[in-house]
Copies of this chain bind each other. A is one copy, B any other.
Amino acid sequence: MTRPLTRIESVIQAVRTRIGARVDGPGSRLPSVRAQAAAMGVSVSTVVEAYERLAAEGLISARAGSGFYVSGPAAPLALAEMEPRLDRAVDPLWVSRQSLETPAGHLKPGCGWMPSDWLYHDGVRRGLRRLARADAMQLVDYAGPLGLPALRQLLQRRSAALGIDAPIEQILLTESGTHAVDLLCRFLLKPGDCVLVDDPSYFNYHALLKAHQVQAIGVPYTHSGPDLEAFAQALQAHSPRLYITNSGLHNPTGAVLSASTAHRLLGLAERSELIIVEDDIFADFELQPAPRLAALDGLSRVIHVGSFSKTLSAASRCGYIAARHDWIEALTDLKLATSFGGGHLAMQLMHIALTDSGYRRHMQSVRSRLADARRHTLRKLHTLGITPWLQPEAGLFLWCQLPDGRDAAALARQCLREGIVLAPGNAFSQSQRAADYVRFNVSQCQDPRIWQVLARALR
């Protein structure tokens, strides 16, 4: 059903058609407002509004005292915009770009987030309507240096529920979780430093650390956290400044840090003056909260970061850092220098959506949908001979081994040609020892075409 055009839209369409057909070429003068109104049998104010909108789009432009003129032609959207790039090497950014760039219709079992109808779009919608009634200041002013106090107070309470004592003056809001980790790398690292990461770990840590020109050292991850013997050896061999890990559910494996591993890990860190960044981005997916290093440590050498891009919305992001007070002071200056007081509206939207009573119910429903999707995906993987390294209790991911030592990067390139984006193992592995592994996101594994393409590709 098509809505009939308003009078203003009719004028806009008429002008567009003439420009599109080159009846009015670039630089030519449009009929005067009065002449156009007479020609189309509409009021002068209708034409004024239509011309203003066309000018706002840049299709035409006003010259003072002389009327409106057609602007130069706009180039069509570049092809590169709409086609996946098959030629790119499978580096840490491969999965990011494929997941973000692929055209509608592509399926993305390899991507790191949920389909849009699984996120909290209703809450965002309600939040936008509420913000539309807010004071001008809330709509157009910068945020304060640390970020919206009400959201920081909420984060303080949420942290307390995980046993982390983070006063609001020790919580700094950032543009996203990635921005939080990036700020910390800037603050703590210099080129050439060593940083420990889990092997496998979230591929964007590798890209981020590369951007900081530091050396990432992988420590094998077990079902209950990093392999402590390898961790101790890496401390000895490389004197790393920092260890970056997930708290709660580990990406890509879905494993969870055990209490005893957490305690021993922290002991090792204390003896080596190691700083730990604990990225808590999957907190709300957990059924039972795992131990947090920041809770054991009391925010002394552990820095807690997080965001809600995975559960609430990735279109309007907001991250946070909870850390020692003197570090937060320095990080705040660094944030001002490099991004100023950003994200005020996103912070408010996040605060409204998180304190909306629907969010808790939304996450209950997400967790139960994920449990179903996990069962479904495990069944499908089983029939293809793909073996999960672990069957996680919660979260998005299954970390799986391909049959017969098949190369995941080759498989990913092959599947991409049929419109399926996979996440091949070595994108997650610093040591490149995960060539036959693939990460599946169970929330993105609903379409039967995925399994048909995979079955064909594996044959």
Q: Is A378 an interface residue (CB 8 A)?
A: no
Which residues between 196 and 249 of chain A lie within 8 Å of chain B, taking CB atoms? 204, 207-208, 210-211
Across the interface, do A336 and B78 meet the contact criterion of CB distance under 8 Å? Answer: no
- Given A121-B140, A355-B53, the answer on whether A161 and B61 have CB atoms closer than 8 Å is yes
Question: Cβ of A141: which chain B residues have Cβ within 8 Å of it?
Answer: 113, 116, 119, 314-315
- Given A53-B355, A157-B57, A345-B315, the answer on whether A78 and B169 have CB atoms closer than 8 Å is yes
Across the interface, do A101 and B315 meet the contact criterion of CB distance under 8 Å? Answer: no
Which residues between 136 and 160 of chain A lie within 8 Å of chain B, taking CB atoms? 136-146, 149, 153-154, 156-158, 160
Which of A55, A128, A176 neighbours the largest number of chain B CB atoms within 10 Å of its CB? A128
Residue ID in chain B nearest A118 by CB atoms? B140
Q: Which of A290-298, A356-364, A380-388, A397-405 contacts B (4 or more CB under 8 A)?
A: A356-364
Across the interface, do A132 and B140 meet the contact criterion of CB distance under 8 Å? Answer: no
Within the complex, the shortest CB–CB distance from A455 to chain B, in Å, comes to: 29
Q: How far is the CA of A296 from the CA of B338 in the complex (A)?
A: 29
Q: How far is the CA of A312 from the CA of B140 in the complex (A)?
A: 7
Residue ID in chain B nearest A181 by CB atoms? B338
Q: Is A167 an interface residue (CB 8 A)?
A: yes
Q: Which of A32-40, A68-76, A440-448 contacts B (4 or more CB under 8 A)?
A: A68-76
Question: Cβ of A61: which chain B residues have Cβ within 8 Å of it?
Answer: 161
Partner of A77, one of B132, B145, B168: B168
Partner of A340, one of B58, B153, B178: B178
Q: Which of A92-100, A409-417, A420-428 contacts B (4 or more CB under 8 A)?
A: A92-100
Across the interface, do B345 and A97 meet the contact criterion of CB distance under 8 Å? Answer: no
Q: How far is the CA of A101 from the CA of B333 in the complex (A)?
A: 12
Within the complex, the shortest CB–CB distance from A279 to chain B, in Å, comes to: 13
Within the complex, the shortest CB–CB distance from A315 to chain B, in Å, comes to: 4
Partner of A317, one of B56, B136, B342: B342
Question: Cβ of A357: which chain B residues have Cβ within 8 Å of it?
Answer: 49, 52-53, 55-56
Within the complex, the shortest CB–CB distance from A363 to chain B, in Å, comes to: 11
Question: Cβ of A81: which chain B residues have Cβ within 8 Å of it?
Answer: 144, 146, 149, 168-169
Across the interface, do B354 and A56 meet the contact criterion of CB distance under 8 Å? Answer: yes
Question: Cβ of A90: which chain B residues have Cβ within 8 Å of it?
Answer: none
How many of chain A's residues touch chain B, expressed as a range? 35 or more
Residue ID in chain B nearest A51 by CB atoms? B357
Residue ID in chain B nearest A62 by CB atoms? B360
Across the interface, do A360 and B55 meet the contact criterion of CB distance under 8 Å? Answer: yes
Q: How far is the CA of A80 from the CA of B342 in the complex (A)?
A: 20
Question: Cβ of A119: which chain B residues have Cβ within 8 Å of it?
Answer: 136, 139-141
Q: Mark A242-266, 1 if CB is under 8 A from B, else 0.
A: 0000000000000000000000000
Across the interface, do B157 and A140 meet the contact criterion of CB distance under 8 Å? Answer: no
Across the interface, do B176 and A93 meet the contact criterion of CB distance under 8 Å? Answer: no
Within the complex, the shortest CB–CB distance from A53 to chain B, in Å, comes to: 4
Across the interface, do B53 and A156 meet the contact criterion of CB distance under 8 Å? Answer: no
Q: Mark A332-343, 1 if CB is under 8 A from B, else 0.
A: 011011111111
Question: Cβ of A62: which chain B residues have Cβ within 8 Å of it?
Answer: 360
Across the interface, do B314 and A341 meet the contact criterion of CB distance under 8 Å? Answer: yes
Q: Is A391 an interface residue (CB 8 A)?
A: no
Q: Is A120 an interface residue (CB 8 A)?
A: yes
Within the complex, the shortest CB–CB distance from A180 to chain B, in Å, comes to: 10
Across the interface, do B157 and A342 meet the contact criterion of CB distance under 8 Å? Answer: no
- Given A52-B360, A56-B356, A346-B346, the answer on whether A75 and B140 have CB atoms closer than 8 Å is no
Question: Cβ of A436: which chain B residues have Cβ within 8 Å of it?
Answer: none
Q: Is A454 an interface residue (CB 8 A)?
A: no
Within the complex, the shortest CB–CB distance from A78 to chain B, in Å, comes to: 4
Closest 3 A/B residue pairs (Cβ): A58-B157, A52-B357, A207-B337
24 contacts between A and B (CB under 8 A): A58-B154, A58-B160, A71-B160, A74-B157, A77-B149, A78-B168, A81-B149, A81-B169, A92-B337, A116-B140, A117-B136, A119-B140, A125-B139, A128-B132, A129-B129, A139-B316, A140-B314, A175-B343, A176-B340, A178-B338, A179-B339, A204-B340, A316-B346, A317-B342
Given contacts A75-B156, A211-B337, 8 further A-B contacts (CB under 8 A): A56-B356, A81-B149, A96-B336, A96-B341, A119-B141, A128-B128, A179-B339, A315-B345
